[in-house]
Amino acid sequence: MGIDVASGCDAIDANPQWLRVRVASGAVRTIPWSTIRVAGLDRSSGGSEPHEFVIDMSKPADPSRQSLWILYPEGAIEVRLEESDPKRAEVLQQFPAQLGERWKGAEFSVQQALFGMSRRSSRGMPKVLIVMIAVMLLSILAAVIVLFVVKGN
């Protein structure tokens, strides 16, 4: 589970089914809206002052950009949106419509993003493992019952 960084409004595209982001490494992440856990604009990077938490150390935070954070099952993406780009408003208006309560707007912070990621990684056992354990216990119970019935005859 990692954190990717994308720069500029041209790095993000959306339609009613998915959000597509071209990250700094050149990879394209296509994320269905339904899988996005939470998204929002980092309130500490509100344009006039860059946020202090810089993930991509090769590029310093730019005060003319605001960080859009997107948390999804595979990790998180920080998209650094230019304040002056006309595409910015078009991109951002899709988030409340697609995410509803999962869109936090400008009331989001890097700390929430990191906390959300750490909570995800510390979840309990996967469902598949639980099902396997249940099947094994039922098999053992069936074997004990069969042995009890055979010895009883």
Identify the pLDDT of residue 12. 93
Residues 118 and 133 in one domain: no
The predicted-structure confidence for 4-36, as pLDDT tens digits, reads as follows: 889 888 899 988 899 999 998 888 999 999 999
Cβ atoms 69, 110 nearer than 8 A: yes
Residue 128 belongs to domain spanning: 124-153
Selection from 84, 94, 86, 83 nearest residue 21 by Cα:
94
Residues 67 and 131 in one domain: no
Residues 53 and 73 in one domain: yes
Dist CA 43 CA 50 (whole Å):
10
Residues 118 and 130 in one domain: no
Identify the pLDDT of residue 134. 87
| Helix H or strand E encompassing 151 | helix 127-152
Angle at 72 between CA 13 and CA 4, to 5 degrees: 65
